[in-house]
Amino acid sequence: MKKKNDVQRENRLSRLDGAPLSIISLLISIVISAVILAVSGYNPFEAYSAIIAGAFGSLRGIAQTLTQATPLIFTGLAFTLAKKANLINLGVEGQLYMGALGAAIVGTVDLHLPMVIHLPLAILGGLILGALFGALIGFLKVKFGSNEVVAGVMLNTIATLFVSYLLNGPMLAEGSSVAQTERVVESARLPRIFQSYQLTIAIIIAVIACILVRWFINRTTLGYEIRCVGLNPKAAETAGISIGKVLILSMCISGAIAGMAGASHVLGVDRRLIDGFSSGYGFNGIAVSALAAENPVGVIFAGLVFGVLKAGAMELNRSTGIPTEFVDVIQSMVVIFVSAPLLVKGMLHIKNNYSGKKAAKVAKEA
């Protein structure tokens, strides 16, 4: 029979979930990435020191970290909200591009309006196009039974190529050799927190959005319906909830949040829409959501973690000979371990068994 302490350990492992499991997964990812780096002939301590220095070593580094974290928080939140309805929104990247397009269409035109009107209109343009593109995935799933994963991936390609076509043609800035729009007019620009850096109030909007989404999911009727559909569609339908309506609205709201990621980049960072401006923010949002354990407020902290990695990668490239792809290795490891909780629990179970046997052996010898 198992000893009482062993049973208690196993019970603790079985209950391990949410934020604690994500933190452990992150730590394991960092350790294994360090081992991979050492085996490749690089110094892991030098790598992590460079990343920390690049992210927190100066005001510029902190500003860059928060700038990189902003779109990741939005995209992570977009994926999280869709997941609450048991939808895998792999179309976040396309919705981000459409949101950027909507913001650019409104923001680059001088409407002779004050900022308090023009800026919200430009943001609204991004929200609407992102929402429509997200709702399209939900509509295809409900009306035609299409798989939202396949539809999202295909629509990503359509969105990026469509935006690229516009930037190389109808929306190309006059006299520009780069595929980009005219600059966003002053009245439609997101105010910057530090004038010398690209960090804008979008980071504050992102944090507020996470808090509002948590409230929305836990405190509203539609949020309750989304959770019910995500947990048990058949039971939700029996209770009178319209599954199709909930799925479409979930993807619509998710798309709007993703669109805000693109809009904030166009109106605040680049202050124009540039072809290929996204470094995969939509896909990185999946990792952010996974690390946050699909908790809207947890997305804030997970986004900051990945913001640190992205900002630190620049210093890694500048001050060391270590490839910046090392940061991608860490991100990949995070996704692997966070998405495989049984693997992490198995590793912890092996460690606990080893520790228990070692302690028993020491006690026996004594």
Tell whether 365 is covered by a domain.
no
Has residue 341 got a pLDDT over 70? no
Q: Does a structural domain hold residue 270?
A: yes
For 248-262, what is the mean pLDDT?
A: 97
Mean pLDDT on 293-304: 92
pLDDT band at residue 1 using 50, 70 and 90 as cut-offs = very low
Long-range contacts from 342-349, C-beta under 8 angstroms, 24+ separation = 344/21, 344/24, 344/25, 344/28, 345/13, 345/14, 345/16, 345/21, 347/28, 348/13, 348/16, 348/24, 349/10, 349/13
Q: Which of 213, 191, 173 is nearest to 264 (CA)?
A: 191
CA distance 32 to 271: 39
- Helix, strand, coil shares, percent, the chain, to 5: 75, 0, 25
Q: Does any domain span residue 166?
A: yes
| Region 218-233 average pLDDT | 95
Examine the pLDDT at 156 and tell me if it is beyond 70: yes
For residue range 164-209, what is the model confidence (pLDDT) as tens digits?
999 999 999 998 889 999 999 999 999 999 988 999 999 999 999 9
Domain that holds residue 278: 60-325
The answer to the question of residue 349 being in a domain is no
Q: What domain count does the chain have?
A: 1
Question: How much is the pLDDT for 33?
Answer: 87
pLDDT at 134: 97
Can you give the pLDDT at residue 7? Answer: 45
Q: Has residue 152 been placed in a domain?
A: yes
Q: Read off the tokens for 243.
A: 């599954």
Q: Is the residue at 45 inside a domain? A: no
CATH of the domain at 209: 1.10.3470
Residues linked to residue 200 through DSSP beta bridges, in sequence order: 192
Q: Which run of H or E residues covers position 88?
A: none
Count of other CB atoms within 10 angstroms of residue 195? 6
Task: Look at residue 13 and tell me if it is in a domain.
Answer: no
Q: Is residue 50 part of a domain?
A: no
Give the tens place of pLDDT for each residue, 261-272.
999 999 999 999
Residue 365 pLDDT grade (very low, low, confident, very high; cuts 50, 70, 90): low
| DSSP codes joined into one string, 115-128 | HHHHHHHHHHHHHH
Mean pLDDT score, 256-260:
97
Task: Give the model's pLDDT for residue 153.
Answer: 95
